[in-house]
Structure 1
């Protein structure tokens, strides 16, 4: 294999290793001191006391989760009831435009977005307009995003778009959402395509060098 091909493979290998490290999902759990510091910042930012926060509030639920954190990735399942009208649609678009960059900056992203098509069992589904599943790299990343000033500014648009939302956190026992595998397959496809292109360029260069080395008849009989 030529030097150019090794350089191409090495470049893609480093690129994928960097992606793997950034995507994470198996980091260190929050320490007690770190969790306490983050909760105190949330209390100050939202002017709330965790002991007085209402049941079901984000501050109360996160305070319960921190001692059980394992540092791993998880999925937040959002059950949303949306507001109607052009103002709500505009607020939703603005909120999405602000939040998605905050997610991606922390190795997090939406993995599923769907609207109900009917009921199979029960009646609670009648109150749900949309289901959204978001992958978070860690609990640390989730809280860091909540504390981001840009997220604080985006809250008004979330309230302008949603009538009500319920969110619970889960770790899948079975999933076919394999982002690392999909990116790895993409890198392999790029590697194959790049090697093919490099090979053709090298063949053309070799053919050109061979043509230039053939002596001209005029020169042979000069």
Structure 2
């Protein structure tokens, strides 16, 4: 009976991890030319972008390698009262950014992404040259995208477009760019979740042997 329990426990643990990898990894490969044309067509006439931004986006998705990536974002939040795009009432600008995040994050997760790092700025530039003065950045973030296809699914999602006025009203300045890892001690969910699942399974197995 204990052997059966062990097989069941580790089988469930393995299944949970496989389901996670099925969601977390990109199994569809690189974007095709037809997909790229479709996404760019959906961006035609959008009021929340510019021709220059669409051109940079086109270059990025045409260079798709099928891998996941982290988007670096830096934001100067609007800390003063602004008009709510929905109600027209005066509200703190940062509250609109928070509302935008509440709408953006579920769409990101649904497309295999997640926030990797969110940090609040606590000081001025410590080391800089050849750059403009600090405009007063307040927040930096790294968002993990499963693939460039998933990023585009988010960009063209109506929920993302509907939430964009909150981002505009709550942000005084921002920029973002995609990044790939070079070095570091960041441990992604592929490893730490496997360790957590294995630990839970091992403890459960040991408890089943003693009961």
Which band: TM-score by shorter chain? 0.7 to 0.9
The answer to whether the aligner puts 1:118 opposite 2:119 as a matched pair is no
Alignment match, 1:87: 92
How do residues 66-215 of structure 1 correspond to structure 2 at under 5 angstroms?
A: 66-85=61-80, 86-116=91-121, 117-122=123-128, 124=132, 126-127=134-135, 128-175=137-184, 176-201=186-211
**SS of aligned partner of 1:126:** coil
TM-score scaled by length of structure 2: 0.85
Q: Which moved more, 1:86-95 or 1:152-161?
A: 86-95
What is the CA–CA distance in structure 1 between the aligned matches of 2:125 and 2:67, rounded to whole Å? 33
Cα offset, 1:200, TM superposition: 2.5
**SS of aligned partner of 2:79:** coil
Q: Return closer, same or farther for 1:125/1:2 CA change in 2, 3 Å cut-off.
A: farther
What is the CA–CA distance in structure 2 between the aligned matches of 1:150 and 1:119, rounded to whole Å? 35
- What per-residue deviation string (whole Å, max 9, x for no partner) do you get for residues 72-109 of structure 1? 10110012111113521221221111111111111101
Aligned CA RMSD, in angstroms, stands at 2.0
**SS of aligned partner of 1:97:** helix
Asked if the contact 1:27–1:138 (Cα under 8 Å) also holds between the matched residues in 2, the reply is no
Structure with the greater alpha carbon radius of gyration: 1
TM-score scaled by length of structure 1: 0.81
Cα offset, 1:177, TM superposition: 3.1
Alignment match, 1:15: 16
Asked if the contact 1:26–1:73 (Cα under 8 Å) also holds between the matched residues in 2, the reply is no
Runs of 4+ aligned structure 1 residues displaced above 4 Å come to none
**SS of aligned partner of 1:75:** strand
Cα offset, 1:197, TM superposition: 2.3
Alignment match, 2:57: 62
Cα offset, 1:157, TM superposition: 1.0
Count of matched residue pairs:
195
User: Can you give the 5+ residue segments of structure 1 that lack an aligned partner in the other structure?
Assistant: 202-222
More RCO (CA 8 Å, sep 6+): 2
